[in-house]
Amino acid sequence: MEPAAEALHGDVDLEGSGRASYLDEALRLSATGAFAWRARTGALFLTDETYRILGVSPGTAPTLALALTRVHPDDRAEVQRAFERVAADGAGLDLEVRVLLEDGTVRHVRVLARPRRQAATEELEVVGAVRDVTGGHTSEDAVRKMRAELSHKGRISALGTLTASIAHEVNQPLAGVLMNSSACVRWLQASPPNLAEALEAAQRAARDGARAGDVIGRLRALFTRAPVAAAPVDLNSLIEEVLALLRRELQLAGVSLHTELAADLPTILADRVQLQQVLLNLIMNAMESLRLSGVEPRDLTVISRAEHELEVSVTDSGPGVAPELVDQVFEPFFTTKEAGMGIGLSISRDLVESMGGRIWVESSPGAGATFRFTVPCSGAGS
């Protein structure tokens, strides 16, 4: 029997090496390794499986320091702190850390441990188990990647339908720049030159140029496939931005827009692009429903408010959602539109839920539909 196993098995009062080898076998089968660490001496005992998981050859004399060199540099400080905390407070430990192997592969490892006093010496030791959970992680990563991909595609397709409006949004200020700079030149060439008019035209040209730049900036954020990045977000200004992008589209669809944005909303910590996308989806859906149904008047109301969480609602005066469909609208590939992919709302639900929020629809037939989502303020830096 190896020293590590001896130390462990001795402490758990297992009798006989037969039972110990069963235990070893079971641990190996479940890809679980065990360890024990004596806080005072720093001595570390590992089972074979733990050596394997850490990618250390079994002959090596193990220390916590050595084990730590195997932990991904980004996670190292956290592991160190966790072990110190166990030793100091006697609290349990449950961590997921990444192990970086020599060949560069990353293993996701779950570490569970608890402290105890050795019966004989009263010495504190930490016993625990490590389990390789990389397989599970890989598929989760794949799902996350696929969702990001889909969400990016959804965004591109939403933007695709907006191309005409976008071109228009950029074109208008650009036309302003050209006309004002031409006018400026003409005022300067007049005899005598009209400096006051020339100055005003030049100022307007600069202002219009900045306006075109703003439009491009807003679009770039939506088009980029940026990884999720939580940052402080002012929900109201985000709503205003999305509406600015859609204003033309709404106008052409004959939709009157109303907003009721609560003053003093707390700043939330969220991914700006994801929130924009959710809003874009909801507003474009409402607009489509108004346009296709041909109802009059066509009203669209966007409301923001704060209670325990922040809530945004998008209400349209369209035909509403049939009661039997209320539960289905958020399902992937559910659509009532001929040209629709049926992914807008399902992506929106994924995004909102990944932010810890909820999304739902309230509708009575003939009385329009309200899509509502919440984002928690807790966890925000406010």
Partner 1 sequence: MPAVQPIVFVVDDDPSVRSGLDSLLRSAGWRVETFPSAAAFLARQPEDAPSCLVLDVSLPGLSGMQLQDQLNDAQVELPIVFITGAGDIPTSVRAMKAGAMEFLTKPFHDADLLAGVERALARSRDTRREATTRAEVRQRFETLSARERQVLELVVAGRLNKQIAIELGVQEVTVKAHRGRVMRKMQAPSLADLVRMGELLKRRVAGA
**List of residues contacting partner 1 (CB under 8 A):** 164, 167-168, 171-180, 182-184, 186-187, 190, 194, 197, 200-201, 204, 207-208, 211, 251-252
Distance of closest approach, residue 366 Cβ to partner 1, in angstroms? 27
Distance of closest approach, residue 315 Cβ to partner 1, in angstroms? 21
- Which residues, 6 or more positions from 32, have their beta carbon under 8 angstroms from its beta carbon? 49, 129, 130, 131
Q: State which residue, 180 or 370, has the beta carbon closest to partner 1.
A: 180
Distance of closest approach, residue 193 Cβ to partner 1, in angstroms? 11
How big is the chain by its Cα radius of gyration, in Å?
Answer: 31
Burial of 169 (0-12, 13-18, 19+ CB in 10 A): buried
Q: State which residue, 12 or 185, has the beta carbon closest to partner 1.
A: 185
Q: State which residue, 176 or 340, has the beta carbon closest to partner 1.
A: 176
Distance of closest approach, residue 149 Cβ to partner 1, in angstroms? 31
Distance of closest approach, residue 201 Cβ to partner 1, in angstroms? 5
Q: State which residue, 183 or 306, has the beta carbon closest to partner 1.
A: 183
Q: State which residue, 157 or 194, has the beta carbon closest to partner 1.
A: 194
Q: State which residue, 245 or 278, has the beta carbon closest to partner 1.
A: 245
Evaluate the CA torsion angle 259, 264, 270, 272 in order and state its sign: positive
Other beta carbons less than 10 A from residue 131's beta carbon: 19
Burial of 204 (0-12, 13-18, 19+ CB in 10 A): middle
Kindly state the tokens that stand for 137.
């992680």
Distance of closest approach, residue 177 Cβ to partner 1, in angstroms? 8
Query: Considering only CA atoms, which of 36, 54, 53 is closest in space to residue 45?
Result: 36
**Positions of E strands within the chain:** 32-38, 44-46, 93-100, 106-117, 124-132, 230-233, 256-261, 268-271, 299-306, 309-316, 359-363, 369-376
